């Protein structure tokens, strides 16, 4: 049996689909559907059981299932969430408790961390263990993720479990994420409605408008890494999951326009006050650690990933509305 927490969510549902493609359907999905639209991500998936996240630990105690691996992707992923206690309980305590359960039973445990742990990047974007204690996240979400990474390293568990610092992931099945949808999704619908797309003006003299940079990674590449780590149980520790190449927001928008075969028109708007002090103008994953661990598959270029997402997913969704 494989457990996927957050299995109805963005990355989790893509992971479950890929497991299904490999002929695996003995999967328990743990999530909180609530009033969101992410239940739709489950329609085409094959799994043995769905369990609400608040009932999961009771279920484990009662059922005592034989589990091969736990992919813990469930968390509050909103970088603007203001309730620090909620983030602490949901993103740190829950993740830690599940880690302890897996460690006690020798279950493969892979959990989601975040590039938000790097803050403004004062110490770069290296996943070297010795730098973790220096990191200063810019928001409460990043802090909640960093707490778990520190717990792993502080208890010398980096050779027993695996944490993944996801950079800017985009791709199908993010439709339910509200304000946290990727800019590919947002731009697609903005362009359809108005012909133009809006980006934030720069808040730094070091970056021109639209030239703020991110390490954008296609969700299919993220899943490739997770499946590889599942197959290679000897590989543990905390790893960056990006491409190792930073691209600008403008370049991403140009890729969307090209995929839609429409003329480019980008407008720049003021950055909201609540984001100005916590906005990352540049991120780029140092991927040496994962490569040295043995992962060799190349990452999808931005233009190719955007084209696949726009043409094979977003365009089909729009036609079905």
Which residues have a catalytic role annotated?
141, 177
Tokens of 275: 């984001």
Contact 73, 4 (CB under 8 A): yes
Burial-class residue 137 by CB neighbours within 10 Å (0-12, 13-18, 19+).
buried
Question: Measured between alpha carbons, how far is 26 from 15 in angstroms, rounded to an integer?
Answer: 13
Half-sphere exposure of 209 (CA within 13 A, CB side): 10
């Amino acid at each position: 049996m494989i457990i996927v927490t957050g299995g109805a969510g963005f990355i989790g549902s893509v992971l479950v689909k890929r497991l299904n493609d490999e002929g695996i359907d003995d999967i328990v999905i743990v999530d909180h559907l609530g009033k969101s639209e992410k239940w739709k991500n489950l329609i085409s998936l094959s799994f043995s059981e769905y369990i609400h996240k608040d009932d999961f630990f009771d279920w484990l105690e009662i059922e005592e299932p034989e589990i091969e691996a736990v992919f813990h992707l469930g968390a509050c992923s909103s970088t603007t969430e203001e309730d620090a206690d909620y983030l602490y309980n949901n993103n740190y305590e829950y993740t830690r408790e599940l880690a302890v359960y897996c460690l006690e039973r020798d279950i493969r445990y892979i959990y989601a961390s975040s590039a938000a742990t790097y803050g403004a990047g004062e110490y770069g974007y290296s996943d070297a263990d010795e730098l973790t204690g220096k990191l200063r996240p810019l928001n409460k979400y990043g802090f909640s993720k960093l707490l778990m990474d520190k717990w792993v390293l502080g208890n010398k568990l980096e050779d027993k479990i695996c944490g993944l610092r996801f950079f800017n992931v985009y791709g199908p099945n993010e439709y339910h994420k509200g304000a946290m949808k990727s800019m590919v999704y947002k731009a697609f619908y903005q362009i359809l409605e108005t012909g133009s797309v809006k980006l934030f003006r720069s808040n730094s003299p070091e970056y021109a408008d639209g030239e703020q940079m991110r390490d954008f990674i296609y969700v299919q590449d993220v899943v490739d890494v997770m499946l590889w780590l599942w197959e290679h149980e000897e590989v543990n520790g905390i790893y960056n999951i990006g491409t190792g190449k930073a691209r600008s927001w403008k370049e991403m928008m140009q890729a969307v326009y090209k995929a839609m075969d429409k003329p480019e028109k980008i407008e720049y708007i003021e950055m909201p006050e609540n984001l100005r002090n916590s906005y990352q103008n540049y991120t780029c994953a140092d991927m040496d650690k994962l490569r040295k661990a043995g992962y060799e598959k190349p990452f999808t270029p931005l233009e190719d990933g955007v084209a696949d997402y726009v043409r094979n997913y977003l365009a089909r969704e729009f036609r079905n509305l």
